[in-house]
Structure 1
Amino acid sequence: MPHIHLIEGPVGAGKSTYARALSEQEHAPRLILDQWMTALFAPDRPSTDTLAWYIARKERCVQQIWRVAQDILATGSGVVLELGLIQRRDRARLYGWVDQSGHTLTVHVLDADREVRRERVRQRNRDKGDTFAVEVPDHFFEMASDTWEAPDEHECRERDVRFLRSDGA
């Protein structure tokens, strides 16, 4: 049965780089929320009230990505999902969908020291390299970092959760 790999972690933890490597290793396509959000909505992004605007669109994107993932899984291929589900309740909803689908899931949780992540994000903003999808200002980095909820004991007991450090710590 095809397998689902969910990659999560705080902003700047190295998720996109890890997703690319895992995708190659597993011969499974990547479905990355930031790429979808940029392609579909970046031209319409308002200059104010961006959080409410983002949340509404993120929800629709995650639902559509899941639909596409189901189509891919039906072909016999696994998928690598990077969905920005930084809060436990959002991951719990995805877990319900996964359970209904009958597929197996591994959650890869990446993390790094906050200062390392902040500098990575700033560097990515400057370079706009191959993992760049959208500019992440410092205030958004701080808000997203403060909002991040790592999997707790219950989540780890219920799921195959693997923690990875991307800063060598």
Structure 2
Amino acid sequence: MIGRTLPTIHIIEGPVGAGKTTYANSLGAERSTPPLVLVSWLANLFLADRPETDLWAWYGERKRRCSTQIMSLAHGLVKHGQDAIVELGLIKAEDRLSLYSAMETENQAYTVHVLDATRDERQRRVRKRNKEEGETFAMLVSDEVFTLASDLWEPVGPEEMRGREANFIHVNTDG
């Protein structure tokens, strides 16, 4: 077993439009494992049923269910000797710390990958993704939702990562 590392859960974090799904896809190709991206699950399972009102309560419950299932699948991959890549859209530090604590309690190896870009760059990327509906498009993100999600995002800081393995990646503008 020399030279072999334990299966790891890779947690991808960052604000809306930072490039999390693109990064997760790239890491998945490198690690030969499919990324488990929350927004894809939400879009595929629930978008057709999205209400016009009380969106945040509706979204929160479905996000919780999908996140639970994604983490169950991630643990299954690890149990079978594979890395897992998860992108859960944990915009609050409290939620991220709760996930880290659960992993630590289970003695589960994990690495946090934190992506970021300027707000203007992220909004440009989201608008481009909305227009092109390319590989990482799961659902339309309006300017209003972008603003709300960006305002709610609590940046990952050194204190949150103290004693934890983390990679901080600043995404450069691509034109």
What TM-score range do you get, normalising by the shorter chain?
over 0.9
Find the counterpart in structure 2 of residue 166 from structure 1: 171
Once the 2 structures are TM-superposed, how far is the Cα of residue 92 of structure 1 from its aligned partner?
1.3
- CA distance, structure 2, for counterparts of residue 45 and residue 86 of structure 1: 21
8 Å CA contact 1:110–1:163 kept in 2: the answer is yes
Structure 2 residue identity aligned to 1:143: L
Once the 2 structures are TM-superposed, how far is the Cα of residue 34 of structure 1 from its aligned partner?
0.6
The one of 116, 123, 137 equivalent to 2:121 is 116
Find the counterpart in structure 2 of residue 148 from structure 1: 153
Task: Give the match's secondary structure for 1:158.
Answer: coil
Q: Deviations over 1:13-62 (max 9, x none)?
A: 01111111111112222110011101111111011221121111101111
Structure 1 residue 15 corresponds to structure 2 residue 17: no
Structure 1 residue 51 corresponds to structure 2 residue 65: no
Unaligned runs of 5+ in 1: none
Unaligned runs of 5+ in 2: 1-5
Structure 1 residue 105 corresponds to structure 2 residue 105: no
Give the 4+ runs in structure 1 shifted more than 3 A.
none
Find the counterpart in structure 2 of residue 134 from structure 1: 139
Backbone CA RMSD of aligned residues: 1.4
Structure 1 residue 72 corresponds to structure 2 residue 77: yes
Find the counterpart in structure 2 of residue 95 from structure 1: 100
Which sits farther off after the overlay, 91-100 or 65-74? 91-100
8 Å CA contact 1:29–1:78 kept in 2: the answer is no
The one of 32, 35, 58 equivalent to 1:30 is 35
Q: Deviations over 1:85-136 (max 9, x none)?
A: 1111111121122113322111111011111100110111111111001110
